[in-house]
Structure 1
Amino acid sequence: MAREEERRFLRRELHDGLGPGLAAIGLRLDVIAAKAPPELAPSVAGVRDLTQSLVADVRRMVHDLRPAALDELGLVGALEDLALGPERGPDISVRTPDGPLPGLSAAVEVAAYRIVQEALTNALKHAQAREVVITASARGDRLRLQVADDGRGLPEEIREGVGSGSMRERAVELGGELVRRPRAEGGTMVEAELPL
């Protein structure tokens, strides 16, 4: 949990501090380039290229630290954003039957997002589903997530792949649990419970 809180802090610092600072340096270099004598143009262009490269590195680090959608949209909005991703394929919906979610720690937000992201990816790649329903609800001291599809279901012999293992590890790391099972009406259900 401390790691994810630190990642949230670092992301904010990089996004709100270093990133804009480097962008401002780039703008000032444009002004300098416009007024500088021609013999300085290669040097200014070199510094400008370096600055642009650093801005790109900061953007990449910000993205890798924590999904931007969580900070911009919150967990439910980020899940809805995931649902908008595929142009073709199944109908994907996000539901919060118990109303808005409470404030979540950075660790729970990231784990929930990544678990749903992987379950949705699996449904889109392998299930040949017509519909996927993502449900998020908070009951008592647990966040409950479900990703249900109406696709072809799980194979008879279920092997834990990298993605499935990653989902389970994220849940267990926080003291939660994750179950993948076939649905009685066809398709697959991924259920995760995470402590709030």
Structure 2
Amino acid sequence: MSSRSRGPALFWRVAIGNAAVLAAACVITALIFAPATDDVAVRELAIFAGGLVVMLAFNLLLLRRALGPLRELTAFARRIDPLEPGRRLQVAGGDSEATELADAFNEMLDRLEAERRESVARALAAQEGERLRVAQELHDGVGQSLTGVVLQLGRVARDVDDTARPAVVEAQETARESLEEVRRIARRLRPEALDDLGLASALLVLGERVAEHSELSVDVQVQPGLAFNPDEELVLYRVAQEALTNVARHSGARHAEVKLHLQGGRPLLEVGDDGSGLPPNAHDGSGIRGMRERAVLVGGALKLSASPLGGARITLELPEP
């Protein structure tokens, strides 16, 4: 987006104004106090002109130093991304007004990021609560009903004659497939393995299920001994889940890798594939934005890059434990 047209920068407006005032003062002084001899007036004008140049140079130096931080602040404000927190403005200058302005701006960013984390946490907590409720209703309500239908059809298949039995058995298989689909949706909404077995096992189960329901082979590698709090575990799992879903649906890949390990003391989740790579509008997709918002919740950073496998790679870096 192009910025609207503006006049000269504040630096040049102040500098030109000061130069005009100084020049006018020098010329008026030379003309008023000049003696009758023309040579003396010329000499004094030369002295005033030299002084004017020195004063302007000194003025420009002071203005550039005083107003430089404003340009830095403007450029920094334009680069800020709410989904990439932690960046702060650093201005040299001791106890100057520019330093105070930078400190005030950084404090404002601290407050905004804290409020955003809280709002994202509330939204995601509500989302996970709704996921859990729907998963329980599917399991306990629809799932139990379908289980009853499968059992009833089994009893009917034993009592009917041979001509009707194939149709009843087919209906029973359809009900059983629907039951498995309901259970799969419920597991996707709220992963039981994450609650019961921990993150490492949940990622392994996730890779197996994605491979089972697609033509994708998934290799999951989790470094032993890693420990996370419940929020971090849920974020890591959801990011891996969304990333693998995108790979299976859109990339045309045949193989994907999920790696969770330490790098430089920071936990790193990497999901790469050998597919078609990143589309031009990858950063604007709702799936990527959702993953970035989850990363903000735990103070992490999400990055998209090319994968060594030849396709795309999504990297989630968490703060040091």
The bucket for the TM-score relative to the shorter chain is: 0.5 to 0.7
- Given that 2:272 and 2:309 are in contact with CA atoms closer than 8 Å, whether structure 1 keeps it comes out as no
Residue 133 of structure 1 corresponds to: 257
Asked if 1:174 is matched to 2:267, the reply is no
Q: CA deviation at 1:185?
A: 4.9
For residues 274 and 201 of structure 2, the distance between their equivalents in structure 1, rounded to whole angstroms, comes to 23
Match of 2:219 among 87, 93, 113: 93
Residue 282 of structure 2 corresponds to: 158
Q: TM-score, normalised on structure 1?
A: 0.62
For residues 194 and 138 of structure 1, the distance between their equivalents in structure 2, rounded to whole angstroms, comes to 10
For residues 197 and 262 of structure 2, the distance between their equivalents in structure 1, rounded to whole angstroms, comes to 18
Task: Identify which of structures 1 and 2 has the higher relative contact order when contacts are C-alpha pairs closer than 8 Å and 6+ apart.
Answer: 1
- Given that 1:101 and 1:137 are in contact with CA atoms closer than 8 Å, whether structure 2 keeps it comes out as no
Q: TM-score, normalised on structure 2?
A: 0.39
More helix per residue: 2
Matches within 5 A, 1:9-158: 67-86=191-210, 87=212, 88-96=214-222, 99-139=223-263, 141-158=265-282
More strand per residue: 1
- Given that 1:92 and 1:131 are in contact with CA atoms closer than 8 Å, whether structure 2 keeps it comes out as yes
Residue deviations 1:4-51 (CA, integer Å, cap 9, x gap): 9xx8xxx9xx9xxxxxxxxxxxxxxxxxxxxxxxxxxxxxxxxxxxxx
Percent identical across equivalent pairs? 39
SS in 2 for 1:85: helix
Residue deviations 1:115-146 (CA, integer Å, cap 9, x gap): 10000000000011111000001346522100
- Given that 2:253 and 2:276 are in contact with CA atoms closer than 8 Å, whether structure 1 keeps it comes out as yes
Q: Give the residue type in structure 2 aligned to 1:114.
A: R
CA RMSD of aligned residues (A): 3.2
Residue deviations 1:156-189 (CA, integer Å, cap 9, x gap): 3434211110111111221110001223552000
Aligned length: 142
Q: Structure 1: state its 5+ residue gaps.
A: 15-61
Q: Structure 2: state its 5+ residue gaps.
A: 1-116, 133-185
